[in-house]
Amino acid sequence: MLTVVEPARELPVLRQVDVLVVGGGPAGFIAATAAARQGTQTLLVERYGCLGGLATGGLVLYMDCIADKEQHRVIGGLPWEVMERLDRRGGLAKDAPLRLHVDSELLQVVVDEVCLESGAGLLFHAWAAGALVEEDRLTGVIIESKSGRQAILARVTVDATGDGDIAAFSGAPYDVGHQCIGLNLKVGGADRERYQAFQRDDPDRARALRDEVRALGGFPLGLGSTPYSNTGVYWVNILGLSNWGQPGRGEGDVHSYFAGELSAIDVEHLTHVQIELRRRILLSLDFYRERVPGFEQVQLLAFASQIGTRESRRIAGEQTITQDDVSSGRTFDDAIGRAGISYDPIGSYQVPYGSLVPQRIDGLLVSGRCISTDHWTMQAARLIPPAMMTGQAAGTAAAMAVAKGVSPRQVDVAALQQRLVADGVIL
């Protein structure tokens, strides 16, 4: 491979903080809020212009796994507070009391308010490009932005990038998984009642049309609820591409359904997917408009501004959550939360603190999609409410580590659990 040598240079230090959170998605904005509410000087760095990640810019609007199969709520704390605040603004659609779909635009505003009220600082349009490590301890992060290349120093950093970028830059060990990569959208002018009646009354024809659009290289389309469903506005979840040119089949068990080969940390793969998905989505909309009852007047309102990645790096932590752990209903002495799971009879599972603590590197916690799980468990842990739950634990632990002057792996877990429960977390 052809290489070049980048000359050494001094970087200006933009900020020195107690807790740095990198990534403002579901895990990140919660982590920053949790840390700042403890009076800890906290900065949240986000590469886009809004917080919320796939729940806002990604148009993944269903809050899956906030409850177990019996519809008992298993996630509380800050994630639930955000849902309640959003509901008061009219920003929730409810298919059932705990089957919640968020309004992506109102959620951006609510999340801004929650973070700023906590005292957390925000830095948008900045991309983490490297890690500063001294003797296996992360001391800060290098960012790139329109202001150039700068450094941010921190006593503890929370990696909420989803892809585990900071942990990887730091030298923490990890595995890489692959799933279909999608691109969601919003549509208007759809008649969901007519569409549902067609699916119910003529299932063979509905199935044949789904097969036909797949054969053309497109995607079957569904209609997810929004607070404006009564006006024909819905969100559409796109399974996406499984490899360079092949749409995902969406068949079999949950792991076969999402199986893919594309890399969410390869810029060429991401570029190809972004362009190809837009083309195929328009093809799909044209097909549905012409052939499927309820879609006669459908119009594209917006593509998601963020691509729908489902899996990439899974950081190797002090504790890895496995399929056996989940299916056996294992409980953990260091549990920091619980989440629902739809594809296992157990219905919900505990998350241990050790899954947020990377091996080898001090001064660092991970949260969200990149926590330490096996591939089987990641299918549930990657979802938005579980990511928010791990964010609250990571932000709380980071603040406690700063207050005690210890590494995150040395945090008193009993004290952490006591604080989380006091803040509404369900263990």
Q: Domain map of the chain by residue range?
A: 13-177+312-422, 185-303
Predicted pLDDT at 273? 96
Predicted pLDDT at 244? 79
Please enumerate in sequence order all residues whose Cβ is within 8 A of that of 393, keeping only pairs 6 or more positions apart, or say none: 34, 336, 337, 351, 353, 356, 367, 416, 420, 425
Predicted pLDDT at 148? 97
Task: For Cα atoms 284, 288, 294, give the angle at the middle one, nearest 5 degrees.
Answer: 145
Of 247, 364, 240, give the one whose Cα is nearest residue 311: 240
Q: Partners of 45 in the beta sheet?
A: 22, 123
Of 111, 71, 72, 107, give the one whose Cα is nearest residue 91: 107
- Count the residues in the chain: 427
- What mean pLDDT value characterizes the chain? 97
- Burial (0-12, 13-18, 19+ Cβ within 10 Å), 99: middle
**Contact present, 258 and 310 (Cβ < 8 Å):** yes
With the CA atoms of 186, 189, 193 and 197 taken in that order, what torsion angle do they form, in degrees rounded to the nearest 10? Answer: -100
Cα(351)–Cα(414) distance, integer angstroms: 15
AA identity, residue 65: C
Of 314, 333, 206, give the one whose Cα is nearest residue 264: 314
Predicted pLDDT at 1? 86
Pairing of strands 42-45, 13-22: parallel
Cα(258)–Cα(181) distance, integer angstroms: 9
Cα(86)–Cα(108) distance, integer angstroms: 10
Predicted pLDDT at 386? 98
Predicted pLDDT at 396? 98
Cα(137)–Cα(89) distance, integer angstroms: 43
Of 143, 113, 109, give the one whose Cα is nearest residue 126: 143
Strand, helix or coil for residue 82:
helix
Cα(63)–Cα(66) distance, integer angstroms: 6
**Contact present, 385 and 63 (Cβ < 8 Å):** yes
Distance spanning both ends of the chain, measured CA to CA = 49
Cα(116)–Cα(175) distance, integer angstroms: 35
Cα(154)–Cα(121) distance, integer angstroms: 13
Strand, helix or coil for residue 165:
helix
- Local structure of residue 199 (DSSP, 8 states): H
Strand, helix or coil for residue 72:
coil
Q: Which CATH class is domain 13-177+312-422?
A: alpha beta
Cα(354)–Cα(215) distance, integer angstroms: 45
Q: How far is CA 164 from CA 31, 86, 173, 203, 265, in A?
A: 15, 28, 10, 42, 10
Cα(349)–Cα(352) distance, integer angstroms: 10
Cα(177)–Cα(179) distance, integer angstroms: 7
Predicted pLDDT at 48? 97
Predicted pLDDT at 93? 98
The residue written with tokens 């989505």 in the block is 281
Would you give the distance in Å from CA 88 to the centre of its chain?
A: 23
Predicted pLDDT at 165? 98
Please enumerate in sequence order all residues whose Cβ is within 8 A of that of 221, keeping only pairs 6 or more positions apart, or say none: 236, 284, 285, 288, 292, 295
AA identity, residue 391: G
Q: What is the DSSP secondary-structure string of 277-311?
A: HHHHHHHHHHHHHHHSTT-TT-EEEEE-SS-B---
Residues of the chain with pLDDT under 70: none
